[in-house]
Amino acid sequence: MSDSLLPATSQAQAQKQAPKAAPTQTPKPTSKDKPLPVVKKIGLQDAGLKLQKVGQGVYALVANADIPPVIQTVAICNGGIVIGSDSVLVIDPFHSPQLAELMIATVKSLTDKPIKYVLNTHYHFARTGGNTTFIKLGIPVIGRGAIREYIYMGKDGTKGFTPPNLVLNSQVTLDLWLGDRQVKIEPVDGHAAGTDLVVYVPDAKVLFTGDMVFHKRIPYTGDSDIRKWQGSLARLITNFPNAKVVPGEGEVTDVTGVKDQQTYFSWLENLAFQWKAQNLTKEQVLEKFAKVPDAYKDYKFQSLYSLTLVSAYEQFTRSQNIPLIP
């Protein structure tokens, strides 16, 4: 195992169930006799997921749901499967045990090779709720930075979730080998408070970006640093110009989808500097710019639009005019 991974003890998730009342002459059941929680089995269609082959032995699970609401059996983000010569990497096990079980069933439908690793592209709840299912099976889950601390804090709706038990140091690049197949895991910054990772499969030229890319979706910017995010997007465009891109949200794309994400943030930045010049308050901004622009009227996740305005106001209007990386 790489020295760049720091082992940690997984968090206990199972809630003990009180035994049923029994006659006094009958011994109460021991903990091993208690029934296990039943996880409802669901199919890809039930979960709003489409299985898409994006390379030889590389698959995307593409979600089509909008938000809100959030349902335990309906995925709101994309996941990934990379099959090597002797084992499998799962990327983002979704937000619930039901969806994690669906991920396992999907892997089994594609290959008889075992799942060797699971990876969280960042700490947000949509990516980490399924961790417990894999850790109970003894499958390591990889994360980055302060991901364990954030999940133990319950940040972003992760209260009670199981954090990764292999943690990548903040700026370390890791090469995983699934038999003779190389998978590169690289840190990026800007979306989720120092926990973001991207995954690249060199022989298939497929890049899984996590939520660094929301393809035709309004991005979630709740704990973002948009300047850092833009810098990371520029590097992805430079380093992976010919990759097929599996975004964190939305349909599979290419470098065009990464550039579209850049365009949205550049528009926000320019808008924020106009607010600054006009000395607008945050309340005035939210009232005056409440309508989603025509360029983004067909995007999903419209409920996140006002949050992007707030993020732009906080990060640009209240700071010096520092241009973003184009």
DSSP assignment of 11-76 equals: PP-PPPPPPPP--TTSPPPPGGGSPPPPPPP--TTTTTEEEEEEETTEEEEEE---SS---TTS--
Tokens of 43: 């199919």
Q: Flag whether 26 is in a domain.
A: no
Beta strand pairing status for 174-178 and 181-187? antiparallel
Cis peptide, bond prior to residue 68, ω within 30 of zero: yes
Per-residue confidence (pLDDT) for residue 159, from 0 to 100: 96
Encode pLDDT of 105-143 as tens digits: 999 999 999 999 999 999 999 999 999 999 999 999 999
Residue 239 counted as domain residue:
yes
92 in a structural domain: yes
Confidence (pLDDT) at 320: 54
Pick out the chain residues at pLDDT < 50: 1-37, 322-326
Domain containing 115 — which CATH number?
3.60.15.10
Phi and psi at 42, nearest 5°, equal -130, 160
The 10 Å Cβ neighbour count of residue 239 is 12
Question: Which tokens sit at 129?
Answer: 């709720």
pTM for this entry = 0.86
Tally of domains in the chain: 1
Quick one: what percent of the chain has pLDDT higher than 90?
Answer: 83
Closest CA to 9 of 148, 209, 173, 187: 148
Is the residue at 116 inside a domain? yes
**Per-residue confidence (pLDDT) for residue 69, from 0 to 100:** 86
Q: Residue 18: what pLDDT?
A: 34
Within-domain flag for 241: yes
9: in domain:
no
Residue 33 forms part of a structural domain: no
Q: Which range of residues forms the domain containing residue 49?
A: 42-254
Whether 132 is covered by a domain: the verdict is yes
pLDDT at 39: 53
